[in-house]
Structure 1
Amino acid sequence: MENNNNKQPNKNKDDKDGRKRVRSEKINNKKSLRTRDTGQQAGQSLEELRVKYNEKIDSNINLPSPDSRSGNVSRQGSVFVDLGQFLDFDDLLPLIGEFGWFQKLLFIFMIPFCFIAAFVYLGQIFMTLAPHNYYCFVPELALIDNETERMELSIPREKDGSYSHCSMYDANYTAIHFALNRSIYLNMSWPTIRCQAGYVFDPVEMPFRTATMEFGWVCDRDYFATLAQMLFFLGSILGGLGYGRLADLCGRITALVSSCFLALVGSLFTSLAPNFVAFAATRVLVGASYDTCFTMIYILVLEYVGPKYRTFVANMSLAIFYAPFTMLMPWLALSTYNWRTFSALCAIPISLSLLSFWLLPESARWLVSVGQIDNAVELLKRVARRNNKTVAPSVFDHFRFSCQQFYREELQGRHFGICSIFKKPRMARYMVLMILIWMAISLVYDGHVRAASVLDMHNVFVFFSIACATELPGNILVILTLDRFGRRWCAFVFTCLSGVFSLVAAGTKNSKHMLGAALAGRFFANICYNIVLQWAAEVLPTVVRAQGVSFIHTMGYVAMMMSPPVVYLSSVSTSLMLLILGILGLLGGFLALFLPETLYHDLPQTLSDGADFGREQRIWHGPCCGPGSKRVKRPQRLWHQGSSLRTISRDEFRSTKMHRVARTRVAPRKTQISSQDTVAAEKMIQTYTFEHGQK
């Protein structure tokens, strides 16, 4: 009995404990139901929470399900909630074709714009070429056939025995002209004065008559050509800022066509310029079109090309289209014999580019950003047809739905600017470094381009073509190395090599060796310019990428304004010019080591991503060997699949529309999901993300 009595209390105790456990389980179940919308259910994955939340919404409003046979959303109901993933541009491209006939035609359409970019950039160099051999023109002695006699009678000699370029004797040339024996007037002790009536240029050395020769921008006015080139880059700064805004407001094609029209007007009026003021004003107009007349078609093509083809398209367009036109440009100038004819004739292809307003498609991404979603969908359907791709209508419906519920809401809630980059210390450091690197490389690249016109004055056209020919192998080398060794080490090696060869050229006395080293410096300058052009867009987060890259390019134009004065130093010392280019190359190369590597890394999308990007990398990190050689996968974004405009940080968006979990498709005048359900879902995701982030 005692044992039974002893067991009875234990049994009662077990029963009580069992009832407590059952009661506790019921209470926990009720709590779990109440906390399901706040994400506090232990051990439950986020996907399970989203599915249960979807079931809850479906049971509350009795939503119809999608048609399983066609995959289309049923339109019998008023609302359909889809907690699945959005369909982004990069998700849609494989379905409509990443590099089909449509993209190949766009690639071919880049040809005329590559010519325009080459002419706008390099045309002014040939228009303002300064000849090497010239002397003062004396009208009274113009009828003397013997040039040597004319120079002996009017031009003094320098200390090295050569004839002076900028001085003439102060003598009575009328008396000399009518004298029977002119030899009596040969007197080297006569006083000298500056040239009074212009200059005589050697037609054998310079068969192309430049604006410098026509307006006499030599001797004490030799800085006029340099000033005109600086004003060209001033126009580039203004145009870059203005057209960037115009492209956002009116579209890529509008900005492209208007910039080409500005280049056309500027080139035609350049050919009519009567003096320096008019010439400089027209070059500001042409400079305002520079970069935009090519960058817009460049961006447009890359937007329609799949990610795995973008590096190839970006560099091959420069290699097979732009590089040949730069090599051809000096010979086009030489064939016209006069800078006015050269400027007018090269404007003809620019006029043909105006037809692109009717031939080229608008950017589908821009159409979505301004709310023209139906036009964007129709355009993408045309891309699919051109590429012989069959895409179900439901896919385009899904894409349209994604755009309506995400992209427009994101763009409406966006409040980002250049200042947003500098709010995060790490991003601010990256931005400052990219500005300094881009300014150094831009000055080095443009300096080497312009240096080709002064390094070999006797064969300027031949040497310029050879220097431009380095663009082709340089772009091919970028394609072969950039996706293997990474951006950081490639930028460091190639930029430093450009600086080293420039320094070697500066210290070489032999003219042939100097030209060879300078060509090597130009070759590596081409490579590092293309690398940083792509690298800057990858380091900056998506939400500030366009504005950040535009600002970096603008600072590059500021640096390019200093390249004409650097090349002008060649009149004092060619070694000094190359020395400055070499030091800047080494500086830019070493600064590149302090930027993060982007190869095999998911690119930052938000400001928070940008603030953390590269934190795990060390200065010796290399993607081709050692730690980081494999692709580092970050946690999958929980909000949607889209890869081009996604964001997850509440701190970066003031619009609460960006934090919805339930995606709704609403028919006119029908029931919608209540805002309480949306807020509940939002709190669920936030709480779950916070708790797991703490763990």
Structure 2
Amino acid sequence: MYSTDFKQALADGRTTPDDEWAIVPCQYGWEYNKSDVPYDTIASELDWVCEKDNLAATAQAIFFCGAIVGGLVFGWIADKYGRIPALVGTNLLGFTAGVGTAFCDSFLTFALCRFLVGLAFDNCFTMMYILVLEYVGPKWRTFVANMSIALFFTLAASLLPWIALWADDWRMFAMGTSLPFALAIATPWLVPESARWLVSQGKIDKALTIMKKFERINKTKIPEKVLSDFTESSLKTIKESEAECRTYSVLDLFKTPRLRRNAILLIVIWMAISLVFDGHVRNVGSLGLDIFLTFTIASATELPADTFLTAVLDRWGRRWLACGSMVISGIFSLLATAVPVGGPSASLAILGRFAVNISYNIGLQYAAELLPTVVRAQGVALIHIMGYVASIVAPFVVYLANISPDLPLLILGVLGIVGGMLCLFLPETMDTEMPQTLQDGENFGLDQRFWDNPCFPRKKQEALEESPEKYTKRPSVSTTEPQAFVRAVPSAIGSRASIRASIRASTRASARRRDVNTGRNVV
């Protein structure tokens, strides 16, 4: 506070302070403006103002540091010990640290709890997301991946600000949003382990047991020929690979050129999406409207965005839709800077949020579909970690509104357009089986061209001239490796033709499988 005679200053007609006045520590405490947020926060309780006003941002940065560590740890656990242990662990950690947050009474305890919550952040649902995608076939991946988010995420996010208002206390809010995580303790009895992961670890009997359970639940029948061929080829492959004792790590994504390029592109694009998405979420306070109402409306855009995505993603494909939605988000963000602050700018910014919601959910599904099973959880975790790194920058981007209200939206607009254009350099994953091995990932999309668009498919003869091996006769099913099963079984529930197509795709991959492991050009 300024140290001066304010009565004299007012008598002299001063309405602004003099920069030459001496500054001293505040002597009488603080009164907080509660017109926007009508309840106390930890920042107001512990007086994180003046020389302590950086502590809130520091706690947020520590939270994202925890997310970076958690992505690495739980991604490794998911690929090493299974999707279920990682899923249960991350949810229970979120429950413990979230409840602990409500009892914090200092910056150090709060920062520690935020770091631990950060460890669980995102992993608590991405592990389930990966597990589900590894079970459903290409026909249902888009529906399952997007409608689950559309219904549950939208409902919860839209209710969140009103739950906070109802609780009227940040500690009760922390407790209420953390307690549901405890339900994850029932996961091992309700959710089956990924059959794809079990096969990749050589646990054939467990995978068969799970698929038999699915037979009973779905009231269908997996052909005995598929099961017997799968068991025979799986056991043979396990014996051949026992000497290798290969353990995969996320570094395997960067050992071959095409897989490395795709991984780097996914990282850069996801960083752009995360920064634009988080920037729009945080920027609601700069749009000139009520924070709680604006947050609800912006969150509600998730439902139409995901519904639209479910309807068109398997018709228009991932590449062009991801590109278009990000570019449109960037354009709306830029347009928001050209209209008056308030209703017009908020409307355009919410439209930008709607478009980036589409990009965000495509990005979640795209990474899971493009990365090989043996490193999928670690790879998706790494991509999300880099997204957290970008999210650390988001508060500072939004802070630029103190310099100019247009700066945040200008930056988000440019990032959206640039990130969207980069999507075109990824291969299309629509109507394809997810890669199982590293070599599958390296060969993925070899028959595609830059301008390929699912809305305008090439003729078969033209594709045959460019990639004749794709249409040549393949060996019989008895030569396939274990991944044939995890591709064939979901399709077996659909049609026999799908089984044959999956087996042929697996055979092509198995014929080249040792290329990555031995470094030899074996075909």
Q: Does 1:277 align with 2:108?
A: yes
DSSP 3-state at the match of 1:509: coil
What's the counterpart of residue 345 of structure 1? 176
What's the counterpart of residue 496 of structure 1? 327
What's the counterpart of residue 216 of structure 2? 385
Q: Does 1:469 align with 2:469?
A: no
Match of 1:594 among 418, 425, 446: 425
Match of 1:580 among 411, 418, 442: 411
Q: Does 1:237 align with 2:68?
A: yes
Q: Does 1:648 align with 2:511?
A: yes
What's the counterpart of residue 268 of structure 2? 436
CA distance in 2, matches of 1:205, 1:256: 37
Q: Is the 8 A contact 1:368 1:407 kept in 2?
A: no
What's the counterpart of residue 447 of structure 1? 279
Give the partner amino acid of 1:648. A
Give the partner amino acid of 1:467. A
**1:11-60 CA distances to partner (integer Å, 9 max, x unpaired)?**
xxxxxxxxxxxxxxxxxxxxxxxxxxxxxxxxxxxxxxxxxxxxxxxxxx
CA distance in 1, matches of 2:168, 2:242: 53
Q: Is the 8 A contact 2:197 2:374 kept in 1?
A: no
Offset at 1:594?
A: 2.1
Q: 1:282 to 1:547 in 2, by over 3 A?
A: closer
Q: Does 1:485 align with 2:349?
A: no
Q: Does 1:304 align with 2:168?
A: no
What's the counterpart of residue 59 of structure 2? 228
Offset at 1:608?
A: 5.2
Q: 1:372 to 1:424 in 2, by over 3 A?
A: closer
**Matching of residues 211-610 of structure 1 within 5 Å:** 211-390=42-221, 396-406=227-237, 413=244, 414=246, 416-456=248-288, 459-542=290-373, 544-600=375-431, 607=438, 610=441
**Matching of residues 48-197 of structure 1 within 5 Å:** 167=1, 170=4, 191=21, 193=23, 195-197=26-28
DSSP 3-state at the match of 1:598: coil
Q: 1:542 to 1:267 in 2, by over 3 A?
A: closer
CA distance in 1, matches of 2:250, 2:144: 29
Give the partner amino acid of 2:54. Y
DSSP 3-state at the match of 2:37: coil
CA distance in 2, matches of 1:603, 1:299: 12
Unaligned residue ranges in structure 1 (runs of 5+): 1-166, 177-182, 660-685, 690-695
CA distance in 2, matches of 1:408, 1:296: 30
CA distance in 1, matches of 2:358, 2:293: 22
Offset at 1:171?
A: 5.6
**1:219-268 CA distances to partner (integer Å, 9 max, x unpaired)?**
55433222222211111110111111222333222211211111111112
What's the counterpart of residue 501 of structure 2? none
Offset at 1:635?
A: 4.4
Q: Is the 8 A contact 1:501 1:521 kept in 2?
A: yes
Larger Rg computed on CA atoms: 1
| Greater mean deviation of Cα atoms: 422-431 or 320-329 | 422-431
Unaligned residue ranges in structure 2 (runs of 5+): 465-469, 488-505
RMSD of aligned alpha carbons: 3.4
Q: Is the 8 A contact 2:78 2:378 kept in 1?
A: no
**1:496-537 CA distances to partner (integer Å, 9 max, x unpaired)?**
111111111233333221111111111111111111222233
CA distance in 1, matches of 2:405, 2:337: 7
What's the counterpart of residue 84 of structure 1? none
DSSP 3-state at the match of 1:201: coil
Q: Is the 8 A contact 1:623 1:629 kept in 2?
A: no
DSSP 3-state at the match of 1:213: helix
Offset at 1:426?
A: 3.5
Give the partner amino acid of 1:241. L
Q: Is the 8 A contact 1:226 1:565 kept in 2?
A: no
Identity of aligned residues (%): 44
Offset at 1:211?
A: 1.8
Instruction: Give the TM-score of the pair, scaled to structure 1.
Output: 0.63
CA distance in 2, matches of 1:543, 1:267: 32
DSSP 3-state at the match of 1:227: helix
CA distance in 2, matches of 1:652, 1:289: 33
Q: 1:637 to 1:415 in 2, by over 3 A?
A: farther
Q: Is the 8 A contact 2:373 2:437 kept in 1?
A: yes
Q: 1:409 to 1:235 in 2, by over 3 A?
A: farther
CA distance in 2, matches of 1:326, 1:411: 48
Give the partner amino acid of 1:422. F
Give the partner amino acid of 2:309. V
CA distance in 2, matches of 1:629, 1:331: 55
Offset at 1:580?
A: 1.2
DSSP 3-state at the match of 1:562: helix
Q: 1:408 to 1:340 in 2, by over 3 A?
A: farther
Q: 1:359 to 1:196 in 2, by over 3 A?
A: farther
DSSP 3-state at the match of 2:340: coil
DSSP 3-state at the match of 1:216: coil
Q: 1:169 to 1:491 in 2, by over 3 A?
A: same
CA distance in 2, matches of 1:208, 1:408: 64
**Matching of residues 616-695 of structure 1 within 5 Å:** 616-625=447-456, 627=458, 633-635=470-472, 638=475, 639-640=479-480, 641-642=484-485, 644=487, 646-649=509-512, 650-654=514-518
CA distance in 1, matches of 2:22, 2:388: 42
**1:49-90 CA distances to partner (integer Å, 9 max, x unpaired)?**
xxxxxxxxxxxxxxxxxxxxxxxxxxxxxxxxxxxxxxxxxx
CA distance in 1, matches of 2:193, 2:258: 36
Give the partner amino acid of 1:647. S
Offset at 1:169?
A: 6.0
What's the counterpart of residue 670 of structure 1? none
**Structure with higher helix content:** 2
Q: 1:207 to 1:407 in 2, by over 3 A?
A: farther
**1:448-494 CA distances to partner (integer Å, 9 max, x unpaired)?**
122224434x5111110000001111111111222112211111111
CA distance in 2, matches of 1:369, 1:614: 22
Q: Is the 8 A contact 2:280 2:353 kept in 1?
A: yes
**Matching of residues 32-47 of structure 1 within 5 Å:** none
Offset at 1:338?
A: 1.1
Q: 1:359 to 1:598 in 2, by over 3 A?
A: closer
CA distance in 1, matches of 2:189, 2:432: 39
Give the partner amino acid of 1:425. P
Give the partner amino acid of 1:651. D
